[in-house]
Amino acid sequence: MSELQAESNHRVTRVTVWNEFVHERRDDSVRAIYPEGMHTVVGRAIERYLGDTVSVRYATLDQPDHGLGGSVLEETDVLTWWGHCAHDQVSDAVVDRVVTNVLQGMGLLVMHSAHYSKVFKRLMGTGCGLRWRNEEDRELVWSVNPGHPICKDVPSPIIIPRQEMYGEFFDIPQPDELIFISSFSGGEVFRSGCCFGRGRGRVFYFSPGDQEYPVYHNEGVARVIANGVRWCAPSQRDSAALSAPRAPLGWFESEEAHRG
């Protein structure tokens, strides 16, 4: 049986890092921070911490099917999502496929302003609004669930010297597990790290990361993203997850059924 285990330990988590990739091309201030795009910094952070247990690919809005066509999603264990100014340019067909894959088991890591992405709003069922201010607040990210795997080796607080303020009330359903709470120098608070189960999939929302500040270069933030990827990675995937089968009396008594 240790073969099974060995296999499980060496199985590679396939990550697709998705980025809207508009600001970096359009705004000098953003390009100065992320010359190759935010996604590359995020992807390298994941590789740096997770090593050869992970394989990273990239996808962006401007690609055909936003880079998520064919079997990309079916071959993705964890999708990370960053968007801000072009949420409405994401096609509904792609949104449907992302949501379906999450409900079947794909992990989803939702970053910063993607709180307002179509994908996140669909999975939450709420408005996902929040208070905001872009005036260089200092953000402190505090762990409130220090035994959780997402907190492993993460300082509490993570200190982000300059950052956009995101404040409560954040219109999400109560998270299944609340991991981080941030304070801002202006006095606001925010539930900045939130875990949700949706269908067979896991969703982790992590708010630090505005395009105007070098937040994804912060090592504490990078560590959280890597831990989040690992937490979101599915145990198993079920392509029949969205069915609603009729179950004849005693259906589970056949051997096949209870073998699982």
Return the residues of window 94-133 that contact its own copies according to CB under 8 A: 99, 103, 105, 116, 122-127, 129-133
Contact 128, 172 (CB under 8 A): yes
Other CB atoms within 10 A of residue 66 CB: 21
Nearest CB to its own copies, comparing residues 60 and 79: 79
Nearest CB to its own copies, comparing residues 66 and 200: 200
Hey, what amino acid is at 111?
A: M
- Hey, which residues between 57 and 76 contact its own copies (CB under 8 A)? none
Out of 188, 205, 208, 209, the only residue in the binding site for its own copies (CB under 8 A) is 188
The helix/strand/coil state of 248 is: coil
Nearest CB to its own copies, comparing residues 35 and 127: 127
Q: Give the whole-angstrom CA distance, residue 131 versus residue 129.
A: 7
Q: Give the whole-angstrom CA distance, residue 223 versus residue 219.
A: 6
Residue 10 Cβ vs its own copies, minimum distance, rounded to whole Å: 7
Out of 42, 73, 79, 165, the only residue in the binding site for its own copies (CB under 8 A) is 165
The helix/strand/coil state of 252 is: helix
Q: How far is CA 3 from CA 12, 13, 205, 222, in A?
A: 16, 18, 34, 32
Residue 167 Cβ vs its own copies, minimum distance, rounded to whole Å: 6
- Hey, which residues between 216 and 255 contact its own copies (CB under 8 A)? 220, 234-236, 238, 241-250, 252-253
157 binds its own copies (CB under 8 A): yes
